[in-house]
Amino acid sequence: MEYQLNRIRIWIEDDYAALSKRAADIIKNQVDAMPNTVLGLATGSTPEGTYSELVRLYKTGAVDFSKVVSFNLDEYFPIKKTNEQSYYYFMRKHLFDNVNISEANTHIPNGEAEDRVAECDAYDKKIASYGGVDLQLLGIGGNGHIGFNEPSDVFVAGTHHIELDASTIEANARFFASTEDVPKHSLTMGIRTIMSAKRILLLASGSGKAEAIHKTIFGDITPKVPASVLQLHPDATIILDKEAARLIVGKLS
């Protein structure tokens, strides 16, 4: 089912597979219409299905990434590219190594940077040099974070270095050998960087995201729920499965 709430378009799909297919179709259509699209990409378990569907579409010849440029949202800091939990490694495994995107066109904040401030400044400049992101894919943290913009008293504008919330370290520990192994910091696009994208596509699956989604769509616009800022975006789409939509379905018509 599709709903329009103020400026946010909301799709509620039966399950994760349908959500992933819907998201992949939107990305495919964007790339078809504009082959040199600048895609903003996300990591986490939520977009994995979208990436595998895009790989499937690519293998059938339905989509061509040869001119696509990509900028990832975030990366742990510090982390080596060879670490299997780095977002650098994730993107290669789930998408880049399986489609015809040119490696030179892919960008991820450098978790090995010696000067993290310079790395963040350079990242925003590089995005701007490509004319900005055309379509930004987002997941959402259980605490409402987007990228690694954690709940805070202020919205931080550009790409920046941030200390991770204890709840995020806990949530991401499932990917690491132990909680102690989760990097305590990250480099992340800021809220201005994300909001500058021409289109935004946020995905959420599972009942653990239901509260964050409710606050994002119906709550106050506040840096305490970073995703709530999407209420101000002129072209934001949110795709949910039934569990993630559990607290909002009754309020949509």
- Name the one residue in this structure whose structure tokens are 């329009």: 4
Binding-site member from 12, 113, 135, 140 for ligand GLP (CB under 6 A)? 140
Binding-site member from 12, 23, 26, 42 for ligand GLP (CB under 6 A)? 42
Binding-site member from 20, 30, 37, 43 for ligand GLP (CB under 6 A)? 43
- Name the one residue in this structure whose structure tokens are 């106050």: 220
**Positions 150 through 169 that interact with ligand GLP (CB under 6 A):** 168
CB of 245 to ligand GLP, least distance (A): 16
Tokens of 143: 């605490």
Tell me which residues are annotated as active site: 74, 143, 145, 150
Alpha helices of the chain — where are they, by DSSP H? 16-33, 48-59, 87-94, 116-129, 166-172, 191-195, 210-218
**Position 149 contacts ligand GLP (CB under 6 A):** no
Question: Quick one: 136 or 196, whose CB is closer to ligand GLP?
Answer: 136
Q: Residue 110: enclosing H or E segment and its boundaries?
A: none
Per-residue binder mask for ligand GLP (CB under 6 A), 50-79, x = binder: -----------------------xx-----
Question: Quick one: 113 or 187, whose CB is closer to ligand GLP?
Answer: 187
Q: How far apart are CA 224 and CA 155, in angstroms?
A: 9
Strand, coil or helix: 118: helix
CB of 62 to ligand GLP, least distance (A): 25
**Position 141 contacts ligand GLP (CB under 6 A):** yes
Question: Quick one: 53 or 74, whose CB is closer to ligand GLP?
Answer: 74
Question: Quick one: 132 or 142, whose CB is closer to ligand GLP?
Answer: 142
CB of 164 to ligand GLP, least distance (A): 8
Buried b (16+ CB within 10 A) or exposed e, 23-62: bbbbbbebbeeeeebbbbbbbbebbbbbbebbbebbeeee
Q: Residue 241: enclosing H or E segment and its boundaries?
A: strand 236-241
Residue with the shortest CB distance to ligand GLP:
139
Q: How far is CA 125 from the centre of its chain?
A: 19
Binding-site member from 40, 44, 78, 183 for ligand GLP (CB under 6 A)? 44
Tokens of 94: 């789930």
**Position 139 contacts ligand GLP (CB under 6 A):** yes
Site size with ligand GLP, rule: CB under 6 A? 14
CB neighbours of 28 closer than 8 A, spacing ≥ 6? 54, 57, 62, 63
Binding-site member from 30, 172, 193, 196 for ligand GLP (CB under 6 A)? 172
Q: How far apart are CA 51 and CA 72, in angstroms?
A: 13
Binding-site member from 144, 147, 183, 190 for ligand GLP (CB under 6 A)? 147
Name the site residues for ligand GLP (rule: CB under 6 A).
42-46, 73-74, 139-141, 147-148, 168, 172
